[in-house]
Amino acid sequence: MKRNLYVLLSLLVLASVVTACGGGAAATEAPAATEAPAMTEAPTEAPAATEAPATEAPAAYDGMKTEAPNCDYGGEFKSIEAVDQYTVKFSLCAPDPAFLSKVAFAAFAIQDADYLNETGGDTAKINEAPNGTGPYVLKEWVRGDHITFEANPNYWGTAPTIQTLIFRWSAEPAQRLLELQSGTVDAVFAPAFEDFETIQADSNLALIPYDSPNVMYLGMNNTIPPFDKPEVRQAIAMAINKQQIVDLFYPPGSSVADQFTPPSITPGHSTSGDGAKWYDYDPAAAKELLAQAGFPDGFETTFSFRDVTRIYVTRQPQVAQEIQAQLAEIGVKINITPMESGAFLESVAAGEQAFFMLGWGMDYPDATNFYDFHFAGGVPRFGDEWPDIVEEIRAGAQLSDPAERQTHYDQVNALIKEHVPMIPVAHGAAADVFSASVGNVKIGALNENFQEMTTDDGQLVWIQSGEPISLFCGDETDGETFRACLQLYDSLLAYEFGGTKAVPALAESWEANEDATEWTFTLRQGVKFHNGADLDANDVVATYSALWDAKNANHKGNSGAFEYLVGFFGQFLNAPQ
């Protein structure tokens, strides 16, 4: 009887699988193949939109142009136009003195227009065969293990002295250092500062500190109770003993953060006014404020952070527990919730996290990179933005005179202190460690000069803290990802090695009009993409359009957030309502 039952059951299962197979094949969408997908979105509101640039000199160049009908949509770009084969003109809605710095950023790496159309701007497809103009070509990406880059034989610049560049990753600084000490890697990102003494005592290793303006902050979302009450936010602000955190968990050379921007960012950092100094550490007053706000016995909340080390915090779990202990003293109980890095960043950007620890390493040396991105960028990181803060930030972003800008930023800092969207905690000192046998090492806040370094065998193995999320950086925000992109791609400009000044890259020269609202770039000629295509102005326009225009056929990316486009340049064209 039992046997028959089983036979019956098994036949039933088989039958259901077979029918599901037949029916399922029609219903599910199998993972797409790699031919060009058919896109059905409407074309952009552009007068002329053909792609194939003519390369014969006598025929007129069929340049692309993407244009906003007016400047009311809330963004900075008015139009991006390929004036001729090697000239691109950006027209802005408002003056932007930091424009050159922004354009040099890794998120705006130039893609080949045809390749963009082929892949539809889809990160998953671009990952399989990234196509850039950079000093390295992707040899292989063994997921979870390593990425191997090989020198680009057709690179437009100086040939790289490192032939094979390998990126590995490990979330544990101690493990990274051990690999270096064992000789399995040549360079390590952000070793644990407890090991600085060991490193300095070892003549085979070289500790390389570098100046990197950054800030670690505790963010609070003003749409999620109880952080919707300003008294609660102020109370938390007074209950954090920042000096203790810096003393215990930060490397020598780090400092307590009194404001959001570090002291080296001027105009931006205030030396006078209400916003120059933060609230004093006063747990008693904090408890009183909480009682006033209706929480005499404190409250409970989640506290999330990402599971990777960054320059602004290398000991996240321990810092989190320290904060937990400090807040316990005023009755606030936090539940520590570590999250995976990519998911965390997305969740924060979506405004889902009530209380979280995050930080910011400078992308380019201007206050707009700090303030605009975080407090006027249209991202609900801290909940609803404060209109008064936004106004002052926008004012400061459009002036050129540093003194005038500073008056606005002083206001911004004062308002930030009043509204407390976040609590700045520390500015972390940064250092990497290299094997002493690696030569010509120049580490800056924004990049590392891998292509100029020298090793005995022309191979360099670098170990960082996390795996790059993708190799299409238009829709990424993570520093480890950008570092990988920097090897494969170029932007119009680049940051000089060992410094932060913007220098020519794909653009040889540029001019701006008087009020910094029109920027015209002249492209380098003879630059080839890895797939052999030539660089011309349409590639630049296509790249920016894919990021900027929400209705562009290639506006796909990874999650579609394109945070840096929004953060740097305000808003999408044709943004969905």
Partner 1 sequence: MSQFFLRRFLLFLPVLFGITFVTFALARLLPGDPCLIALGERATEEQCNAFRERFGLNDPILVQFFRYVGDIAHGDFGESIRNKRPVMDIVLERLPMTIEVTIGAMIFSTFFGILLGLISALRRNTAVDVVTMMGANIGVSMPVFWLGLMLAYVFALALKDTPFWIPPSGRLSSGVTIPPLTETFHWKQMGGPLGMIVTFASNMVTFNALITGNFKVLRDALWHLVLPCIAVGTIPLSIIARMTRSSLLEVLGLDYVRTARAKGLRERVVVLKHAFRNAMLPIVTVVGLSVGGLLSGAVLTETVFALPGVGTQLVSAILARDYPVVQAFTVVIAIIFVLVNLAVDMSYSYLDPRIRLQ
Partner 2 sequence: MSTSTVPLKLEPVATVVSRTPFQNALRRFTRHRSAQVGMAILGFLILVAIFAPVLAPYDPIKPIREAKRRSPPCVHVLGCASDKPQYVFGIDSNQRDLLSRIIYGSRLSLEIGVSTVSFAIIIGVILGAVSGYVGGWTDNIIMRFMDVLLAFPSLLLAIAIVAVLGPGLINALIAIAFVSIPVYARLMRASVLQVKDQDFVSASRALGSSPIGILVSHVLPNALTPLIVQATLGIASAILDAAALSFLGLGAPPPTPEWGLMLGEERNSVFNAPYLVFIPGIAIMLTVLAFNLLGDGLRDALDPRQVNVK
Q: Which residues bind partner 1 (CB under 8 A)?
A: 3, 6-7, 9-10, 13-14, 16-17, 19-25, 27-31, 122-124, 127, 140, 142-146, 148, 164, 166, 168, 170, 175, 178-179, 181-182, 184-185, 307, 338-340, 342-343, 346, 350-352, 459, 461, 469-470, 558-561, 576
Q: CB under 5 to 8 A by kind: which of partner 1, partner 2, none does 19 bind?
A: partner 1
Q: 542: closest CA among 555, 532, 533?
A: 555
Query: Measured from the CB of residue 126, what is the shortest distance to partner 1 in angstroms?
Result: 11
Q: Which is nearer to partner 2, 9 or 159 (CB)?
A: 9
Q: Which is nearer to partner 2, 84 or 179 (CB)?
A: 179
Give, for 510, the enclosing helix (H) or strand (E).
Answer: strand 507-512
Beta pairing class for 422-427 and 333-339: unpaired
The three-state secondary structure class of 545 is helix
Query: Measured from the CB of residue 328, what is the shortest distance to partner 2 in angstroms?
Result: 8
Query: Measured from the CB of residue 192, what is the shortest distance to partner 2 in angstroms?
Result: 7
31, amino acid identity:
P
Q: Is 347 in the site for partner 2 (CB under 8 A)?
A: no
The three-state secondary structure class of 137 is strand
Q: CB under 5 to 8 A by kind: which of partner 2, partner 1, none does 340 bind?
A: partner 1
Q: CB under 5 to 8 A by kind: which of partner 1, partner 2, none does 142 bind?
A: partner 1
Q: Which is nearer to partner 1, 170 or 500 (CB)?
A: 170
Using CB atoms within 10 Å of the CB of residue 145, give its burial: 0 to 12 exposed, 13 to 18 middle, 19+ buried: exposed
Residues 191-230 within binding reach of partner 2 (CB under 8 A): 192, 194-195, 198
Query: Measured from the CB of residue 333, what is the shortest distance to partner 2 in angstroms?
Result: 11
Query: Measured from the CB of residue 225, what is the shortest distance to partner 1 in angstroms?
Result: 17
Q: CB under 5 to 8 A by kind: which of partner 1, partner 2, none does 140 bind?
A: partner 1
Q: CB under 5 to 8 A by kind: which of partner 2, partner 1, none does 59 bind?
A: none
Q: How far apart are CA 492 and CA 331, in angstroms?
A: 52
**Residue with the two structure tokens 């544990």:** 172
Query: HSE-up of 318 (CA within 13 Å, CB side)?
Result: 12
Q: Which is nearer to partner 2, 16 or 513 (CB)?
A: 16
Q: CB under 5 to 8 A by kind: which of partner 2, partner 1, none does 173 bind?
A: partner 2
Query: Measured from the CB of residue 9, what is the shortest distance to partner 1 in angstroms?
Result: 5
Q: 376: closest CA among 407, 417, 427, 412?
A: 412
Q: CB under 5 to 8 A by kind: which of partner 2, partner 1, none does 38 bind?
A: none
Q: Which is nearer to partner 1, 81 or 122 (CB)?
A: 122
Using CB atoms within 10 Å of the CB of residue 56, give its burial: 0 to 12 exposed, 13 to 18 middle, 19+ buried: exposed
Q: 240: closest CA among 287, 203, 198, 282?
A: 282
Q: 354: closest CA among 421, 277, 306?
A: 421
Beta pairing class for 459-464 and 187-188: parallel
Residues 114-173 within binding reach of partner 2 (CB under 8 A): 172-173
**Residue with the two structure tokens 């380019």:** 364
Q: Using the rule CB under 8 A, which residue among 51, 322, 496, 534 binds partner 2?
A: 322
Query: Measured from the CB of residue 145, what is the shortest distance to partner 1 in angstroms?
Result: 4
Q: CB under 5 to 8 A by kind: which of partner 1, partner 2, none does 248 bind?
A: partner 2
Q: Which is nearer to partner 1, 24 or 294 (CB)?
A: 24
Residues 300-319 within binding reach of partner 2 (CB under 8 A): 315, 317-318
How would DSSP label each residue in 50-118? ------SSSSPP---EEE-S-GGGS-SEEEEEEEETTEEEEEESS--TTHHHHHTSGGGPPPPHHHHHH
Query: 324, 239 in Cβ contact below 8 A?
Result: no
Q: Is 175 in the site for partner 2 (CB under 8 A)?
A: yes
Query: Measured from the CB of residue 202, what is the shortest distance to partner 1 in angstroms?
Result: 12
Q: Is 5 in the site for partner 2 (CB under 8 A)?
A: yes
Q: How far apart are CA 516 and CA 289, in angstroms?
A: 47
Q: CB under 5 to 8 A by kind: which of partner 2, partner 1, none does 400 bind?
A: none
Q: How far is CA 564 from the centre of its chain?
A: 7
Q: CB under 5 to 8 A by kind: which of partner 1, partner 2, none does 511 bind?
A: none
Q: How far apart are CA 105 and CA 233, in angstroms?
A: 33
| 268 token code pair | 């931006």
Q: Using the rule CB under 8 A, which residue among 293, 336, 516, 575 binds partner 2?
A: 336
Q: How many CB atoms lie within 10 A of CB 167?
A: 23
Q: 330: closest CA among 297, 368, 370, 376?
A: 297
Interface with partner 2: number of residues (CB under 8 A): 25
Q: Which residue ranges make up the site for partner 2 (CB under 8 A)? A: 2, 5, 172-175, 177-178, 192, 194-195, 198, 248, 315, 317-318, 320-322, 324-325, 335-338
